Amino acid sequence: MSAPAGPAVATPPVATPAVAADEVAADEAATMAGTAAGVLAQAAPSAGVGPAVRELPATLDGAGAGAAGPAGSALVGEEAKAGGAATVHLGLGQAINRALADELAGDPKVLVMGEDVGRLGGVFRVTDGLAARFGAERVRDTPLGEAGIIGTAVGLALRGYRPVAEIQFDGFVYPAFSQIVTQLAKLHARSGGRAQLAVTIRIPYGGGIGAIEHHSESPEALFAHTAGLRVVSPATPQDAYDMIRAAVRCPDPVIVFEPKARYWDKGAVERRPVNPAILQTARLVRPGSAVTIAAYGPALAPAEAAARELAVSGVDSEVIDLRAISPIDFATLEASVNRTGRLVVVHEAPVFFGAGAEIAARITERCFYLLEAPVLRVGGYHLPYPPALVEHDYLPGAARIVRAVREALTY
């Protein structure tokens, strides 16, 4: 395991929460066993209004009220420069930090958990300063065990908490796959609607940072294929801020795939009311008439670069930021393709059985008589993610997108 953003820091011992040991044991047994009887027992409604909520430990009461982040926090520094204004200029990672801080301050049931998210602030420092501000009870360093992280988050959600679990790197999510697809995604249906799983899973994903094996993958299609999960990916600091806040408040499980190579891309971030629609609506980035280029997460920047390059030669490209991978906003895509007659879908994940394949099939069905060319896809190749030395030959850059657009225009 690597920590490219800084030297390793020993994880401090995690304090035992102020709850009875038998309650903890019962929760863990019911959650990790995954038995319907245990789950339904935990999720049984109290007075007909939903799952019972355990009283929070006293150390959580009022956490964050009037507290200040660490003086060295990049986020705090940016806010200080802005004089506490509602709109500040932040990197994408800083915007996520701000969103987490706002949700932790606003709801004592929100918890952040994961490997090194506390004292270290995460390997990318996305959670920097949160433990100092809200305490180790609410920003918890966990053991190196992804299945345990997600299993614990499931149990917490069944007891009324809103856990935000970080998987440190994309390639580390696979040990937790069973907990996510067999428990988290299915408990709402399994309980007849009585159990709500308000769990947010943050996963830094994608390539472009020169990392070693298991640190640059794009596994979003595996989870988009699973009914019961919302899967989103921000491409801008504002969307990152809005998505995290909407995900934390969503009653459904939400996986937020964060483009790690874009953590340092800066933009204006406005603190504004939470908009749940961001978890299921696409965004028109650039209007055009000749072709639609649809992308999400880390692929949006090269898509925009390709559109600018094409404009020099007179090709007017429309760019759509999908934002959500499940559900996909097909209405926005369909309206765009009806105007342009052509569609190129871009993502870092392999094109083989990727999100672009489903988009191509659906748009072909819905826009068949208006399409001027087949839907084309640009993405990673069907092979394991390559070594860092050649990763940029694997990633879909602007040049490959331009070639695909020009191919679509030949029809």
Q: What is the pLDDT of residues 361-393, one digit of tens each?
A: 999 999 999 999 999 999 999 999 999 999 999
Report if residue 12 sits inside a domain.
no
> Based on the domain organization, do 119 and 139 belong to the same domain?
yes
Catalytic site positions: 215
CATH number assigned to the domain comprising residue 319: 3.40.50.920
| Average pLDDT value for residue range 180-203 | 95
> Based on the domain organization, do 155 and 252 belong to the same domain?
yes
Report if residue 153 sits inside a domain.
yes
> Based on the domain organization, do 185 and 306 belong to the same domain?
no
Report if residue 6 sits inside a domain.
no
Give dist(CA 260, CA 233) in Å, integer: 11
- Top-ranked range on mean pLDDT: pick from 49-53, 67-71, 112-116: 112-116
Please tell me the pTM assigned to this model: 0.81
Number of domains present in the structure of the chain = 2
Q: Where are the alpha helices (DSSP H) in 56-170?
A: 74-81, 92-106, 130-134, 146-158
DSSP state of 51: B
Identify the domain containing residue 397 by its residue range.
Answer: 283-408
Q: What is the pLDDT of residues 395-410, one digit of tens each?
A: 999 999 999 999 999 9
Report if residue 15 sits inside a domain.
no
> Based on the domain organization, do 289 and 394 belong to the same domain?
yes
Q: What is the dihedral of CA 117, 147, 221, 199, to 10 degrees?
A: -60
**Average pLDDT in the chain:** 84
> What are the structure tokens assigned to 310, written together?
């094409």
Q: Give the per-residue pLDDT at 36.
A: 31
CATH number assigned to the domain comprising residue 219: 3.40.50.970
Select from 254, 279, 304 the last residue of a domain.
279
> Based on the domain organization, do 231 and 371 belong to the same domain?
no
Q: What is the pLDDT of residues 270-321, one digit of tens each?
A: 999 999 999 999 999 999 999 999 999 999 999 999 999 999 999 999 999 9
Instruction: Convert 157-174 to b/e letters by CB count within 10 Å (16 or more is b).
Output: bbbbbbbbbbbbbbbbbb
Q: How far is CA 295 from each of CA 95, 282, 319, rounded to the nearest angstrom?
A: 21, 10, 8
> Based on the domain organization, do 171 and 139 belong to the same domain?
yes
